[in-house]
Amino acid sequence: MIKTSGIVFRNTRYKESSLILDIFTEEAGLQSFIANGVFSKSNQRLAAALQPMNIVEVVAYYNEQKELHRLKEVCISVMYQKIRFDIKRSAMGLFLLEVCRKTIRSHQANSELFHFVKNAFEEIDHTDSFNPNFHLEFLVQLMSYLGFQPQNNYSSNTSCFDMVNGIFTSYKGEAVYHLSEGASKIFSEMLSGQSYIHLFQNSQQRRQMLHALILYYQLHIENFGQVKSMEVFHEILGA
């Protein structure tokens, strides 16, 4: 038996009344669970609790030798106030969720990573005003948890970021896997932890940086693939 906090990453309907779930748990990393009787009239709260992005408390019959575990109890531990009803916050949350599904694959406990992700969803929901740069902050900070954080060796002599090697270099030409000098300077400031508020002059700069960060992830995480939610994300946020 395991009792743990978790974040619902994915749910897939199985047969008439069951769900197969991928839940990122604090105690056991990413795990798959089956929940039975989800769609019966008496279990409407259970179906609501198992929606992707929800932060939940889980009790399950757990065996680390198995790939699928049976849920015994589940309840929502953080009740979202805005993320389900604000289209911008919802789009931001769905984008982060897809990135998490593509990057968090370990079945081992990682409490620091769990709380980082949990806090990110809570911040999207709880802040008074919407932060259009939050996804960029998240992507930059997530790198350190995943083990490929760039070296911030930016200087006047090393002013172009090499995405393959994760360092700033003296290269000044055009190349697919190098950021421009302007974008490299902004990226260095992002890595140094400066406020993002004044880093981007317009939504186009923000969009270009997002595409650069996604390319960096694609280079460093096997089978990362395309982020399907980006198109909708751009349409809703214009960023």
- Can you give the residue ranges of every domain in the chain? 2-78, 87-237
For residue 27, the SS3 value is coil
Summarize pLDDT for 28-46 with one digit per residue, the tens. Answer: 999 999 998 888 777 778 8
Hey, what are 199's tokens? 């880093």
**CA dist., res. 84 & res. 131, Å (int):** 16
- Domain 87-237 listed as CATH 1.10.150.80: no
**CA dist., res. 130 & res. 111, Å (int):** 27
pTM, rounded to two decimals: 0.93
Range among 8-17, 21-30, 42-51, 199-208 with highest mean pLDDT value: 21-30
Cα–Cα nearest to 135, from 198, 92, 103: 92
pLDDT at 173 over 70: no
- Section 112-117 average pLDDT: 98
- The pLDDT confidence band at residue 9, using thresholds 50, 70 and 90, is very high
The CATH-assigned architecture of domain 2-78 is Beta Barrel (2.40)
CB atoms near residue 205 (< 10 Å) = 15
CA atoms within 13 A on the CB side of 117: 31
For residue 60, the SS3 value is strand
**CA dist., res. 7 & res. 25, Å (int):** 6
Sorted by sequence, the CB contacts under 8 Å of residue 93 that are 6+ apart come out as 53, 83, 121, 124, 125
